[in-house]
């Protein structure tokens, strides 16, 4: 559904297909724009901070670990991370053991910051001595500027992490700024925002507004932002390439692009998607990845009164599905004001038989659901065909542009 050298299209398209076909996904349930729904209702994914040591920590080392823990959102801090002590004098989980072995026996204590993933082989975004980890996000201009833009009402902030090709970076920054100004007048917010089921929860202006955070090559080179973006890039790129990340919600990157993959169509389609109605409200079914940002989102958005609709900030990685028994429908209990334990009477048995006969006379709900699923599948096939045709045309346009250059 969205362009971008293939990768943007695939991730956004998969998210939309999930939204159409996933059980319980209601395509008309919410008119709140994607960027605002993500900001108000999606808790930040937690990075994992593995602290490797051998045997008991000294008092100073324990104080440093406590400082890391104090900065975690779950402990009242401002960082979306969780601390995992890893005592090498004991047997570690295989996943943690693999992380340690990949660090090539550094001096202890040593810290590895891993991307969110629930200890399922998540990549290491940063590693270093315990003392360096304590001050890891103290001086981070870009991260704090991203949060400031979002909290003042920007729908999408285009993060540009400059590489060594200054000309390519200048060109993409110029294009992003031009399109940001043009799209404000072209994109409209969904109708129905504020109605039941589509309420706004935070007192931040709801506007179609875009901006660019341009990070200098020297600052971006070894930043955690760049390391996270490189790890989330589906296709590898040169370590010195400029990276472009559209950021929305609570610091969620929609995709990682290079300047060659960014054109006016890509910018417009991504912007329209993120400003469109949030048809799928389940975070894990939407494309994107979270950045590690120093901001207590709930506190900044709501103060002390966090609405009940907001997801718990200590959200864990997606768990295995839990299957539960489906309770009886309202029609089965509407005529029974109380159901204390008692033996069935003849009247009860007669009523049950009548209810069963009435249910048998109803249309086959399963067949109706199957028809609806086939209609959804057919619609998805049409979407895929349309995207494929669009990509062929876009590739031809890019090739023609390349020939002219």
- Four-residue CA torsion sign, 305, 148, 208, 387: negative
- 84 φ, ψ to 5°? -125, 100
Q: Work out the percent of the chain whose per-residue pLDDT is above 70.
A: 68
Looking at residue 318, what DSSP letter applies?
A: P
* CA 118/CA 45 separation, integer angstroms: 10
Q: What is the mean pLDDT of the chain?
A: 78
Which pLDDT belongs to residue 378?
53
Higher pLDDT, 307 or 362: 307
Per-residue pLDDT tens over the stretch 11-28: 444 444 444 444 444 444
How is residue 235 written in tokens? 């296709």
For residue 3, pLDDT over 60 is answered with no
Pairing type for strands 110-114 and 47-53 reads antiparallel
The answer for 32, left when phi > 0, alpha when psi is -120 to 50, beta otherwise, is: beta
Residue with tokens 């590898």: 236
Length of the chain: 405
Residue with tokens 């956004």: 12
Q: How many CB atoms lie within 10 A of CB 206?
A: 16
Which pLDDT belongs to residue 132?
93
Q: Which helix (H) or strand (E) holds 244?
A: strand 243-248
Is residue 81 classed as helix, strand or coil in its secondary structure? strand
The number of CA neighbours under 13 Å toward the Cβ of 197 is 12
As a whole number, mean pLDDT of residues 344-372 equals: 48
Per-residue pLDDT tens over the stretch 64-87: 999 999 999 999 999 999 999 999
Which pLDDT belongs to residue 286?
82
Per-residue pLDDT tens over the stretch 324-347: 332 333 333 333 333 333 344 455
Which pLDDT belongs to residue 116?
92
* CA 248/CA 116 separation, integer angstroms: 17
Which pLDDT belongs to residue 288?
92
C-beta of residue 48 within 8 angstroms of C-beta of residue 119 = yes
C-beta of residue 194 within 8 angstroms of C-beta of residue 200 = yes
Per-residue pLDDT tens over the stretch 181-191: 999 999 999 99
Pairing type for strands 124-129 and 81-87 reads unpaired
| Nearest in space to 13 (alpha carbons), one of 387, 268, 283 | 387
Which pLDDT belongs to residue 393?
54
Looking at the chain, the number of H-run helices and the number of E-run strands are: 14, 9
Which pLDDT belongs to residue 9?
46
pLDDT band at residue 271 using 50, 70 and 90 as cut-offs: very high
Q: Which helix (H) or strand (E) holds 173?
A: helix 166-186
Instruction: Tell me the CA end-to-end span of the chain in Å, nearest whole number.
Output: 28
* CA 41/CA 164 separation, integer angstroms: 38
- Four-residue CA torsion sign, 105, 108, 113, 117: positive
Looking at residue 361, what DSSP letter applies?
A: T
For residue 45, pLDDT over 50 is answered with yes
As a whole number, mean pLDDT of residues 115-144 equals: 87
Which pLDDT belongs to residue 33?
95
Per-residue pLDDT tens over the stretch 80-123: 999 999 999 999 999 999 999 999 878 999 999 999 986 667 89
* CA 251/CA 297 separation, integer angstroms: 10
Which pLDDT belongs to residue 333?
33
Which pLDDT belongs to residue 30?
84
For residue 231, pLDDT over 70 is answered with yes
Pairing type for strands 81-87 and 289-290 reads unpaired
* CA 68/CA 171 separation, integer angstroms: 39
Q: What is the dihedral of CA 236, 240, 246, 249, to 10 degrees?
A: 90
| Nearest in space to 248 (alpha carbons), one of 392, 39, 98 | 39
Which pLDDT belongs to residue 305?
82
Which pLDDT belongs to residue 189?
93
């Amino acid at each position: 559904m969205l362009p971008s050298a293939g990768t943007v299209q695939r991730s956004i398209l998969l998210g939309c297909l999930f939204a159409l076909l996933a059980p319980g996904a209601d395509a008309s349930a919410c008119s709140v724009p994607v960027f605002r729904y993500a900001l108000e209702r999606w808790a930040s994914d937690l990075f994992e901070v593995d602290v490797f040591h051998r045997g008991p920590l000294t008092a100073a080392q324990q104080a440093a670990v406590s400082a890391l823990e104090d900065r975690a959102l779950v402990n009242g801090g401002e960082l979306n991370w969780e601390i995992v002590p890893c005592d090498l004098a004991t047997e570690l989980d295989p996943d943690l053991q693999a992380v340690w072995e990949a660090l090539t026996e550094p001096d202890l204590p040593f810290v590895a910051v891993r991307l969110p993933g629930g200890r399922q082989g998540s990549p290491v975004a940063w590693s270093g001595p315990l003392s360096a980890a304590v001050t890891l996000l103290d001086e981070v201009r870009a991260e704090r500027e991203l949060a400031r833009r979002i909290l003042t009402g920007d729908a999408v902030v285009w993060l540009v992490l400059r590489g060594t090709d200054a000309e390519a970076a200048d060109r993409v920054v110029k294009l992003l700024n031009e399109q940001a100004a043009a799209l404000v007048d072209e994109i409209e917010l969904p109708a129905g925002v504020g109605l039941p089921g589509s309420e706004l929860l935070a007192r931040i202006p709801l506007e179609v507004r875009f901006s660019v955070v341009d990070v200098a090559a020297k600052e971006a080179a070894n930043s955690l932002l760049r390391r996270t973006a490189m790890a989330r890039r589906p296709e590898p790129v040169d370590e010195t390439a400029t990276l472009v990340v559209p950021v929305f919600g609570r610091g969620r990157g929609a995709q990682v692009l290079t300047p060659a993959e960014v054109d006016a169509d890509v910018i417009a389609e991504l912007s329209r998607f993120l400003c469109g109605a949030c048809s799928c409200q389940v975070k894990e079914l939407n494309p994107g990845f979270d950045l590690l940002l120093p901001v207590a989102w709930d506190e900044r958005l709501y103060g002390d009164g966090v609405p009940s609709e907001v997801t718990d900030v200590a959200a864990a990685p997606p768990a295995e599905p839990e299957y539960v028994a489906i309770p009886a429908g309202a029609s089965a209990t509407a005529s029974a004001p109380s159901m204390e334990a008692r033996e069935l009477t003849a009247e009860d048995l007669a009523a049950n038989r009548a209810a069963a006969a009435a249910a048998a006379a109803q249309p086959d709900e399963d067949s109706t659901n199957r028809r609806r699923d086939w209609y959804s599948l057919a619609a998805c096939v049409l979407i895929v065909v349309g995207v494929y045709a669009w990509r062929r045309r876009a590739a031809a346009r890019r090739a023609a542009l390349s020939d002219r250059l």
